[in-house]
């Protein structure tokens, strides 16, 4: 499974064939089976289902005009959740805008996430960011920012600092195939390769960078091969196979902890839904492509595996869905009842002591006439 290069050497090309454990019907390849504990697999599966149910509900809320925006991860749940599960609790995640499910898996509260979607007074970022742009440092999940690829250099810098301090920390940076054309991807990969930084580059190749297909994104043989020029070991894995994703990610963590440097993991998956609630994918892709990709649905495959091993039932599924919907109902009700962020909060969190000219602006803003809401 591993494609390993010694520090300072040139790694071999990543194989074209995807590393896979599960077939489309949930049967296991005994040679690649990581033999995970059934309780862990069930936890991963339930987190994947929870993510998809939250996705569907938030899209409805956006269409109803109750929230302004949403970035979903339908079809990419295994790539996100299973890789997160393979990290250790002390490892830091530097996410794109599609990995909020990873924060929930790590324990970030659903209420806090829903508050962010509404940008209310309880929002962790106080309504200053667009929805889905959370920060969850309590679960070692960095701030989500909109510019493409910036989290890559952040992850590398954090890991390099930990390395110099002799702290056994690995960082994981998630990004899409479109981000491989960004400046930060090249800067981050080069730095990590030169200094053998313990960073995992988790590249979700979901077929599309909004409306740009992968074949127009690069002329390289595979996205994993982009690691070659930087001396970074690379792997290609079926991103819709949760067991394969877990296995490859865990192997990369162990490599990093042994001092063998970074790994680029191309998670070949598919974006089943729109890029965001502002996107209409029917304008640039055909239904046949979507239907074909549905055969590889990560939830269906992992549930089939659990059922084959008598670790999950239809009753379990119903109970899970009812539990998630009930939790969502409570969170939405509380979020909609919460007040808006205070006006004075706009002036907080930048200066330890607010300068006089900003104090004057704050007071004028708070005490001055307010526009009427319609």
Please give the positions annotated as active site.
Answer: 271, 275, 284
Residues 6+ apart with CB under 8 A from 174: 80, 83, 93, 94, 95, 96, 98, 99, 102, 151, 202, 204
- CA-to-CA separations, 89 to 42, 65, 296, in angstroms, rounded: 19, 37, 29
Tokens describing residue 339: 């007040």
- Three-point CA angle 352, 357, 363, nearest 5°: 90
CA dihedral 262, 166, 175, 65 (to 10 degrees): 170
CA dihedral 285, 60, 203, 182 (to 10 degrees): 80
Residues 6+ apart with CB under 8 A from 364: none
CA quadruple 74, 96, 207, 30: dihedral positive or negative? negative
d(CA 159, CA 200) in angstroms, rounded, equals 10
CA dihedral 259, 224, 290, 45 (to 10 degrees): -10
Q: Where are the alpha helices (DSSP H) in the chain?
A: 38-63, 77-86, 100-106, 110-118, 150-164, 183-195, 242-257, 287-294, 298-308, 314-337, 356-367
Name residue, tokens 């590889």. 296
Tokens describing residue 372: 């009427």
User: Is-contact 269 206, C-beta < 8 A?
Assistant: yes
Question: CA neighbours within 13 Å on the CB side: how many for 187?
Answer: 12
Distance from the Cα of residue 157 to its chain's centroid: 19
Angle between helices 242-257 and 77-86 (to 10 degrees): 40
């Amino acid at each position: 499974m591993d494609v390993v290069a010694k520090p300072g050497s040139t790694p071999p090309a990543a194989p074209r064939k995807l590393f896979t454990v599960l077939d489309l019907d949930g049967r296991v390849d005994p040679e690649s089976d990581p033999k995970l504990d059934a309780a862990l697999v069930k936890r991963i599966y339930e987190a994947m289902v929870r993510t998809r149910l939250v996705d569907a509900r938030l899209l409805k809320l956006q269409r109803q005009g109750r929230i302004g925006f949403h970035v979903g991860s339908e079809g990419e749940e295994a790539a996100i959740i299973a890789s997160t599960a393979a990290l250790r609790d002390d490892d830091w995640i530097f996410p794109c805008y599609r990995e909020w499910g990873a924060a929930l898996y790590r324990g970030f509260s659903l209420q806090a996430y829903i508050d962010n979607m509404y940008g209310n007074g309880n929002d962790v970022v106080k309504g200053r960011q667009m929805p889905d742009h959370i920060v969850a440092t309590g679960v070692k999940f960095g701030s989500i920012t909109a510019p493409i690829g910036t989290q890559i250099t952040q992850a590398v810098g954090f890991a390099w600092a930990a390395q110099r301090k002799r702290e056994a920390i690995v960082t994981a940076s998630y990004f899409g195939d479109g981000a491989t054309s960004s400046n930060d991807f090249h800067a981050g990969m080069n730095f990590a390769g030169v200094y053998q930084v313990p960073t995992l580059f988790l590249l979700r190749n979901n077929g599309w960078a909004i409306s740009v297909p992968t074949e127009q994104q690069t002329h390289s043989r595979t996205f994993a091969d982009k690691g070659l020029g930087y001396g970074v070991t690379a792997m290609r894995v079926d991103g819709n196979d949760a067991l394969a994703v877990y296995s490859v990610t865990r192997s990369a963590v162990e490599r990093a902890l042994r001092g063998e440097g970074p790994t680029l993991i191309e998670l070949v998956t598919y974006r089943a839904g729109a890029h965001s609630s502002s996107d209409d994918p029917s304008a640039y892709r055909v239904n046949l492509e979507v239907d074909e990709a549905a055969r590889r649905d990560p939830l269906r495959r992992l549930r089939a595996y659990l059922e084959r091993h008598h670790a999950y039932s239809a009753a379990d599924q119903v109970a899970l869905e009812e539990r998630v919907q009930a939790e969502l109902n409570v969170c939405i009700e509380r979020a909609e009842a919460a007040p808006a962020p205070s006006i004075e909060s706009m002036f907080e969190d930048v200066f330890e002591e607010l300068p006089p000219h900003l104090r004057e602006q704050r007071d004028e803003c708070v005490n001055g006439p307010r526009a009427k809401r319609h």
